[in-house]
Amino acid sequence: MGFDYVHSLVDDHSRLAYSEILPDEKGPTCAAFLTRAAAYFARHGITRIERFMTDNAWAYRHSLRGVCADLGATQVFIKPHCPLLTG
């Protein structure tokens, strides 16, 4: 027995969502997911990602920098121990 991890990305304007069930939540897996998600959104007419918000997990904080730079997106992090970004 093991675990599966659901990775999801939601466009905050259209509410279009993209999800995948993946075997882990390691950096390379997260980066590849973001690349595929961006392609999915582009196929649906969302061709520009301005900001990408995640929690502070190591895989998100350190492994997505390159993909975000390639997309021209700014990485935004929620406050530690807080499920929502307010303000």
User: Is the Cβ–Cβ distance between 55 and 30 less than 8 Å?
Assistant: no
Whole-model pTM: value is 0.86
Q: Which residues have C-beta within 8 Å of that of residue 24, sequence separation ≥ 6?
A: 5
Q: At 16, phi and psi to the nearest 5?
A: -65, 135
Biggest CA pair distance of the chain: 42
Domain coordinates in residue numbering, the chain:
5-77
User: Is the Cβ–Cβ distance between 48 and 72 less than 8 Å?
Assistant: yes
- 31 in helix, strand or coil? helix
To the question of domain 5-77 being in CATH 3.30.420.10, the answer is yes
Could you report the per-residue pLDDT of 23-41, keeping only the tens digit for each?
999 999 999 999 999 999 9
* Stretches in the chain below the pLDDT threshold 70: 82-87
